[in-house]
Amino acid sequence: MSDTPQSVLQEIFGYQTFRRHQSDIIKMVLQKKDVLVIMPTGGGKSLCYQIPALLFPGLTVVVSPLISLMKDQVMQLRQLGVAACVLNSSLTAQKYYSNVQQVKNGAVKLLYVAPETLLQPKTQQILQQVQVDCLTVDEAHCISEWGHDFRPEYRQIVVLRNQFPRAVWMALTATATPRVQQDIWDSLKFQDGKKFVASFDRENLFLQLINKSDTLHQTLDFLQNHRQDSGIIYCFSRNQVDELAATLQDHNFSALPYHAGMESETRAATQEKFLRDEVQVIVATVAFGMGINKSNVRFVIHYDLPKNIESYYQEIGRAGRDGLPAECLLFFGYGDVRKIRHFFKEKSEKERQIAETQLQALIGYAEFTGCRRKPVLAYFGQTAVQENCDTCDNCTSAEKNVQDATIPAQKFLSCVKRTGEMFGAGHIADVLRGSKNAKIRRFSHERLSTYDIGAELTRKQWVFLANQLVSQGFLQGDEEVGSLRLTTAAGPLLLGERPFLTQMIEDREKTSTGKRKIDFGDYDRDLFEKLRDLRRKLAEQVNVPPFAVFSDKSLVDMAASFPQSQESFLIMHGVGRVKNEKYGTIVLDVIRKYCLSRGIRPKPLAQRHLRSERGKKRPPKFLRVGAVFNRGLTIEQIAANEQIKTVTVVQHLLDFAAAGEALRPYDFSKDYPELTQYKTAIAAAFARHGDFRLTTVFNELSGEVSWELLKVFLLQQHHDALNLP
């Protein structure tokens, strides 16, 4: 087994470089210092404990809240050739026993357990017999009542601190406000450890909000533009879930419902189909998600309002775990705000207060006209790095029309007052627009001074304005009757002592859904589809979900760079030793055939790697040299630039060619005129001894021909072979 974090990263996981924080975290853990890791979903938390687990002599125990999560992790680790297993109540007695044996034998590096299982005396007995080097608490926010998934058993894990004196403790989570972070730290009795908080910003998620008007058609429109993509649509209620799923099916979309009211087998089957890309869209209540580790979810739609920013962040977090662009669409309506408040009623006063504060923050998010990332990050106590993120609706919309709506606001407020603070927004709008409906006549509202003074806005716009007034605190709605009342803040506004600014409804409605095309950059779509098919077949054979074989990102990488050799295949994102052994030959075969059939001359991998992300480890030198050569530099120029001998450059080019990379058409005798003279002699010598007997050939030509020239000769041969007309 490999022996540094870097070599494990490359050989086992198939990644070239660590992401931010990963390397520091791993170092701390290896020094047995406790760490708390707060990193967004998809940030790469798992590696932070998986790599130390492979380097520690003993066992790493991972506490995880859900069986599906554990199974998923174990399945993915096994795909990488890592010895991992689970202990939980879902195992058969036989399987349980065999897993226990493996743990006792030291055959297992990572053991996943549910907190309940870990707390059982029989589990502790087993663990007493082995050396536990690390105890990892995954989804650590479950420890805190302030978190969104509080699990009482999680709080008890700390009683095990003394049981494993040699173990370092880790806690990881994707969502934790500063308050929850502190709670985790204290509950687990971390002392001289360290907390790592990565940026919560998920740069690959496009954040978009649309005001609810015709949610169904907007959704259909969106899906139409995402025919190939996996996604989740969240709804409030089970009924809505069933209904929407059925409607989508009627419109020929591959969609299935998922909620807690369904049989557990049906739910499991649905989840499985989603993981395996057999169904495209899941329409679900929030019951769906925590166990979903699918990396290629390309969109998350909130058909209804989530209950707070934290849940929202958690739910959209399921999109784009593979790091490729994904879209998050939130349908926002004040009706939903009322519905959510309705649920608060059953809560205790304290809980209601918390819930209300959180809901206000969410409304603030919805109404915010600046970069959407700001309120989200602010919620987690962070600040956005850029003023303009370029990946949210507000930053990308051409006109961000915040208007001065002081006069309409005054008209509205005064009409609310004159009608006795007894009516809802719709009726006030009717009065302002001079409607002649029965209700108006019944209350003689046509006689009011505010009757028919508001033709400048449509009814819908007045209602929208009312909602803005409510959410900015000038009006208060009565939940029971739906009537509006002025707050004390309304006074100064009515008196013209302060302005009222808002975005008006048409501006928002211009933001249509789904027209953005997800752009993964430049890659060959046909090859991607071919590889996707192949992936599905391979996954079926080994009975795992497709993304466990290769992530979308790996496929995009392959479809962009057409690797031709094992060496270049190993450079692909997520391809490590085991995946290369398992799938390399068959995938390379498909890529090569594809390239041949389309007459594609693979572009040198090296160029891509030269341009690769900042901070990435440099690619092997031969790739670099090959790339520069292909860009038009001569051997001598390269030697001068790189400060190496020309013979070394030639050797690099040979390695480059041997790795299956194509060299640009070139006549080497231009640089090495003596090649023409000796070509026949060298060819004859090689013919007698074989290509790789350089020394023999060199001796046979009794030093008349230099090493360098021999290599150049080979290079020319390679090159001619690759560039046959």
Min separation Cβ 210 and Zn ion, Å: 16
Could you tell me the two tokens for 545? Answer: 């979900």
Backbone angles phi, psi at 444, to 5 degrees: 55, 35
Answer yes or no whether residue 211 interacts with ligand ADP by CB under 6 A: no
Contacting range for ligand ADP; rule: CB under 6 A; set: 43-51, 355-363, 607-615, 681-689? 43-51
Answer yes or no whether residue 321 interacts with ligand ADP by CB under 6 A: yes
Residue 45 interacting partner from ligand ADP, Zn ion, none (CB closer than 5 to 8 Å by kind)? ligand ADP
Could you tell me the two tokens for 322? Answer: 């593979």
Residue 535 interacting partner from Zn ion, ligand ADP, none (CB closer than 5 to 8 Å by kind)? none
Residues 446/418, Cβ–Cβ less than 8 Å = no
Contacting range for ligand ADP; rule: CB under 6 A; set: 16-24, 176-184, 343-351, 378-386? 16-24
Min separation Cβ 549 and ligand ADP, Å: 12
Chosen residue from 5, 8, 10, 15 binding ligand ADP by CB under 6 A: 15
Contacting range for ligand ADP; rule: CB under 6 A; set: 34-42, 148-156, 490-498, 555-563? 34-42
Using CB under 6 A as the binding criterion, the count of chain residues that bind ligand ADP stands at 16
Could you tell me the two tokens for 436? Answer: 């002649």
**Residue with Cβ nearer ligand ADP (144 or 551):** 551
**Residue with Cβ nearer Zn ion (395 or 572):** 395
For tokens 């009211």, name the residue: 261
Helix (H, G, I), strand (E, B) or coil at 281: strand
CA distances from 520 to 259, 327, 530, 556 (A): 32, 13, 17, 8
Binders of Zn ion in range 357-396 (CB under 5 A): 371, 389, 392, 395
The span from the CA of 140 to the CA of 547, in Å, is 25
Residues 170/136, Cβ–Cβ less than 8 Å = yes
Chosen residue from 322, 327, 524, 700 binding ligand ADP by CB under 6 A: 322
The span from the CA of 366 to the CA of 210, in Å, is 9
Min separation Cβ 180 and ligand ADP, Å: 16
The span from the CA of 388 to the CA of 379, in Å, is 18
Answer yes or no whether residue 328 interacts with Zn ion by CB under 5 A: no
Binders of ligand ADP in range 275-304 (CB under 6 A): 295
Min separation Cβ 118 and ligand ADP, Å: 20
Strand partners, 195: 36
Q: What's the N-to-C CA distance of the chain in angstroms?
A: 46
What is the chain's alpha carbon radius of gyration, rounded to the nearest angstrom?
Answer: 32
Min separation Cβ 551 and ligand ADP, Å: 5
> Taking the CB of residue 716, how many other CB atoms lie within 10 A of it?
18
- Interface pattern 550-569 for ligand ADP (x via CB under 6 A): -x------------------
Using CB under 5 A as the binding criterion, the count of chain residues that bind Zn ion stands at 4
Nearest to 68 by CA among 281, 271, 287, 319: 271
**Residue with Cβ nearer ligand ADP (43 or 546):** 43
Backbone angles phi, psi at 111, to 5 degrees: -115, 120
The span from the CA of 100 to the CA of 297, in Å, is 35
CA atoms within 13 A on the CB side of 21: 20
Min separation Cβ 389 and Zn ion, Å: 3
Answer yes or no whether residue 576 interacts with ligand ADP by CB under 6 A: no
Answer yes or no whether residue 43 interacts with ligand ADP by CB under 6 A: yes
Contacting range for ligand ADP; rule: CB under 6 A; set: 12-20, 416-424, 613-621, 685-693? 12-20
Residue 327 interacting partner from ligand ADP, Zn ion, none (CB closer than 5 to 8 Å by kind)? none
Residues 605/623, Cβ–Cβ less than 8 Å = yes
Min separation Cβ 323 and ligand ADP, Å: 6
The span from the CA of 324 to the CA of 293, in Å, is 15
Please state whether beta strands 475-477 and 484-486 pair in parallel, antiparallel, or not at all (unpaired).
antiparallel
Could you tell me the two tokens for 601? Answer: 């001359």
Residue 169 interacting partner from Zn ion, ligand ADP, none (CB closer than 5 to 8 Å by kind)? none
Nearest to 382 by CA among 175, 615, 185, 188: 175
Min separation Cβ 371 and Zn ion, Å: 3
Could you tell me the two tokens for 182? Answer: 């502190």
Residue 359 interacting partner from ligand ADP, Zn ion, none (CB closer than 5 to 8 Å by kind)? none
Secondary-structure percent of the chain, ordered helix, strand, coil, rounded to 5 = 50, 10, 40
Min separation Cβ 448 and ligand ADP, Å: 58
Which element (helix H / strand E) includes 34?
Answer: none
Strand partners, 486: 475
> Taking the CB of residue 163, how many other CB atoms lie within 10 A of it?
12
> Taking the CB of residue 515, how many other CB atoms lie within 10 A of it?
9
Chosen residue from 5, 44, 514, 563 binding ligand ADP by CB under 6 A: 44
Answer yes or no whether residue 41 interacts with ligand ADP by CB under 6 A: yes
Nearest to 658 by CA among 722, 601, 583, 576: 722
Which element (helix H / strand E) includes 327?
Answer: strand 326-332
Min separation Cβ 392 and Zn ion, Å: 3
Could you tell me the two tokens for 435? Answer: 């409607």
Chosen residue from 2, 6, 11, 19 binding ligand ADP by CB under 6 A: 19
**Residue with Cβ nearer ligand ADP (47 or 111):** 47
Residue 290 interacting partner from Zn ion, ligand ADP, none (CB closer than 5 to 8 Å by kind)? none
Residue 51 interacting partner from Zn ion, ligand ADP, none (CB closer than 5 to 8 Å by kind)? none
SS3 letters across 426-464: HHHHHHHCCCCCHHHHHCCHHHCCCCCCCCCCCHHHHHH
**Residue with Cβ nearer ligand ADP (190 or 200):** 200
CA 639 to chain centre: 42
Answer yes or no whether residue 45 interacts with ligand ADP by CB under 6 A: yes
Answer yes or no whether residue 46 interacts with ligand ADP by CB under 6 A: yes
Answer yes or no whether residue 468 interacts with ligand ADP by CB under 6 A: no
**Residue with Cβ nearer Zn ion (69 or 392):** 392
**Residue with Cβ nearer ligand ADP (555 or 685):** 555
Residue 411 interacting partner from ligand ADP, Zn ion, none (CB closer than 5 to 8 Å by kind)? none
Chosen residue from 28, 38, 47, 682 binding ligand ADP by CB under 6 A: 47
Residue 389 interacting partner from ligand ADP, Zn ion, none (CB closer than 5 to 8 Å by kind)? Zn ion
Answer yes or no whether residue 535 interacts with ligand ADP by CB under 6 A: no
Judged by the rule CB under 5 A, the positions of this chain that interact with Zn ion are 371, 389, 392, 395
Judged by the rule CB under 6 A, the positions of this chain that interact with ligand ADP are 15, 18-19, 22, 39, 41-47, 295, 321-322, 551
